[in-house]
Chain A
């Protein structure tokens, strides 16, 4: 059979780093081809080249046997290649139909006749079993629905090769099943799917062929036969991987650190997304918060760290009422926070590391006059202690890789010896080794008697770290459970508002 897509000898360099080193990839029609590799292995770069976002330094790309030079996404789309990005490429304020229509290759003067598009879309969505609300603004749709709009966009312009970049990272297990149904229908219609994921069991379940990248090179290209997770991990990192677990104890102490009662809060659009939540966190306890994106966990984390005011309810830290307190008061009362946006929230990108070391520190620690000699010394000690790979404390923050930056941020927050540590997706987008370093630090903090609130979209992480798990659904606490009592699948059901039987 003739391959639909061939990438031959692709080389991409950024400065002195070679991110793709003579990579080959062949995809046949009607197959799901999984692309695996650790962070930094070069998967995203390869796909961005295929999608015309980046230009390769060497190599060539053939689609249906014909060589194409993909200079922009436009060329890529015209060649029938489409990508479902990890961060959806949707215009929030547009409706689904408008988002789809945006892809249309029509002259600029033509009118946006919405009715006409709607007809075509309904036909497509029936053919592939994709249910979408076409008339509401995208921002009002659920994450799963937004993803379906992305798929519909690509089908509308007749894409044959669909790239899925970690499509399940934001979905509940049940939503994943629905996605896999759609993918099966796609390949049944002779479309090809390139599937990028970290979740190996999914890869084994859905893919026909697997290509493994490591340090920019293809280390394996094999059919999905007789494979198991251990074998794939070995291919990915070139050695059998063991996690060094910290001994986990359940010695929760009795003192309540954080206590919130009946708290409500609105998101940045003014929509109330947190409804009457009551919870307590004790010393030496990790409280896990599970929930699909948009079910209130971001607002909950912001409320308990003082980044957002609650609209109703009471918040108390170690018995002290903080309900209407300023953000500064939360800092003063010892609330540390590792937010999910490392680059824009947890740090100032343009600052050097020692300037970022001062961020969110109480006045008693820094004083009114800043003693930079001491600050730099402290920063350098933390850089060493937390194994942050960087040129020094005067490195510009935005030059750090995600894992190193996250270790720096966690180091900074722990250095404040907070009473409460809040972590939001602490390992999202970070490679396996750094992730385990970070998880173990969080466990250590708990052992040291800190109260920890952990919101994460990574179920295994939640189950591994938490002592208790609260499931948020539509801004309310839907269920409370412990890692011993639940499984990934049950957690998934609860996140979608279904009580497990």
Chain B
């Protein structure tokens, strides 16, 4: 059972299971580094999944589908930023209501467009895109370098975001806005615009993460397909201490647990499968507990900000 091919398949599955979380957590980190807590991530992923599915279903193009899914995620953050940042409402409350709205919206429109069919409509999932040469590396070649384009993109974006946040002017400004918005404003940075942009980026990546679920993983859409992945990505943001590369590690850990539990379900172990389904959620909760508190949280996270305030 612990043969090389089992291991490679497990790791390959790990990368696939973690991809939506890598997207989601990377986007969330940017939003939170700018001081906005984006509880609406779950809703953005759900919307991205739905839009990508619909667009690919009608146009037949996965690329157009993914692009539209990402775009929908980005655009959907505008009302969130409007209420939570410009109008200074409680960002968590706004995010929760947004998620309820998105559950309703996607489910409603799915029924409106596709009706209630006996066989659910499906699309072709994204083909694997093996990277020449690299895919011949034993174990890793099969596990990592024979994946589809979105898997590569997610890892690239996580590392790229880390670089931008820690090494560039843009990153410095985003972090300043999340740590001390008044100081940022005094330095001539527009707090509102920075937060708007960061939220759009978070939505864009949330949309990509959602698109992955329908376009690259399941090939179908169903109500609540994200099943809490947006919230798990929020938890991974904390585990990753607001660093995209550390969060990438956290997402992979979760992906590994998820991949393992799927396989364990299939094997005839005398443990009821529900316990395996619980496992990833329990692991995230437990890791929050073990990691304990930490001080890298952006200081102004979730604080309402008034331009002409005291």
The answer to whether B188 and A77 touch across the interface, beta carbons within 8 angstroms, is: yes
Q: Is the interface of B mostly helix, strand, loop or mixed?
A: helix
Task: Assess the B169–A89 pair: CB atoms within 8 A.
Answer: no
Q: How far is the CA of A108 from the CA of B307 in the complex (A)?
A: 22
B109 interface residue (CB < 8 Å to A): no
* Binding-face segment, A95-103, A370-378, A444-452: A95-103
1/0 per residue, CB under 8 A from A, across B167-192: the answer is 11111110110011011111111100
Residues in chain B near residue A83, CB distance under 8 A: 186
Q: Say whether, besides A89-B186, A91-B180, A112 and B172 are in contact (CB < 8 Å).
A: yes
| Contact, CB under 8 Å: A90 / B183 | yes
B263 sits at the interface (CB 8 A)? no
Known: A53-B185, A77-B188. A107 touches B169 (CB 8 A): yes
Q: CA of A107 to CA of B173 in the docked complex: distance in angstroms?
A: 11
Residues of B within 8 A of A (CB-CB), count: 25
Chain A neighbourhood of B172, CB < 8 A: 94, 98, 101-102, 112
Q: Is B168 within 8 A of A89, CB to CB?
A: no
- In the complex, the answer to whether A103 meets B183 with C-beta atoms within 8 Å is no
Instruction: Find chain B residues with CB under 8 A from A88 CB.
Output: 183
Inter-subunit contact A89/B180 (CB<8 Å):
yes
Judging by beta carbons under 8 Å apart, are A85 and B167 in contact?
no
Query: Which residues of A sit under 8 angstroms from B169, Cβ to Cβ?
Result: 101, 104, 106-112
Contact assessment for B168 and A102 in the assembled complex, using a CB-CB cutoff below 8 Å: no
User: Are the CB atoms of B179 and A74 closer together than 8 Å?
Assistant: no
| Residue of A85, A91, A110 with most partner-chain B CB within 10 A | A91
Q: With an 8 A cutoff between CB atoms, is A73 at the interface?
A: yes
Docked complex: A33-92 residues within 8 A CB-CB of B? 48, 51, 53-54, 72-74, 76-78, 83, 85, 87-92
Which residues of B (175-220) have their CB < 8 Å from a CB of A?
175-176, 179-180, 182-190
Within 8 A of B (CB), among A205-242: none
Cβ of A490 under 8 Å from chain B: no
**Cα-based distance from A74 to B175 in the complex (angstroms):** 18
Please judge, given known A-B contacts A109-B169, A110-B168, A111-B168, whether A102 and B185 are in contact too, CB under 8 Å. no
| A93, chain B: closest CB distance, angstroms | 6
Most B CB within 10 A of own CB, among A88, A89, A102:
A102
- Complex contact B179–A93 (CB within 8 A): yes
B167 and A111 contacting across the interface, CB-CB below 8 Å: yes
- Give Cα distance in the complex from A89 to B184, angstroms: 8
User: A109-B170, A112-B167, A112-B172 given as contacts; is B188 within 8 A of A94 (CB)?
Assistant: no
Contact of A53 among B175, B179, B308 (CB under 8 A): B308
Residues of B within 8 A of A110 (CB): 168-169
CB of A54 within 8 A of CB of B308, answer yes
- B282-310 residues at the A interface, CB under 8 angstroms: 295, 299, 307-308, 310
Min CB gap A184→B, angstroms: 25
The closest CB in chain A to the CB of B171 belongs to: A112
User: Is A120 part of the contact surface with B, judged by Cβ < 8 Å?
Assistant: no
Query: Quick check: is A105 within 8 A (CB to CB) of the other chain?
Result: yes
**B182 to chain A: closest residue by CB:** A89
**Judging by beta carbons under 8 Å apart, are A94 and B168 in contact?**
no
Chain B residues contacting A107 (CB-CB under 8 Å) are: 169
Closest 3 CB pairs of A and B: A74-B188, A89-B186, A108-B170
Query: Which residues of A line the B interface, CB within 8 A?
Result: 48, 51, 53-54, 72-74, 76-78, 83, 85, 87-94, 98-99, 101-112, 153, 269, 343
12 contacts between A and B (CB under 8 A): A51-B186, A53-B307, A74-B189, A89-B183, A90-B180, A102-B189, A103-B187, A103-B188, A104-B169, A108-B168, A109-B168, A153-B187
Besides the known contacts A90-B180, A99-B183, 10 further A-B residue pairs in the complex with CB atoms under 8 A apart: A48-B308, A53-B185, A78-B188, A89-B182, A91-B179, A105-B188, A109-B169, A111-B167, A112-B167, A269-B295
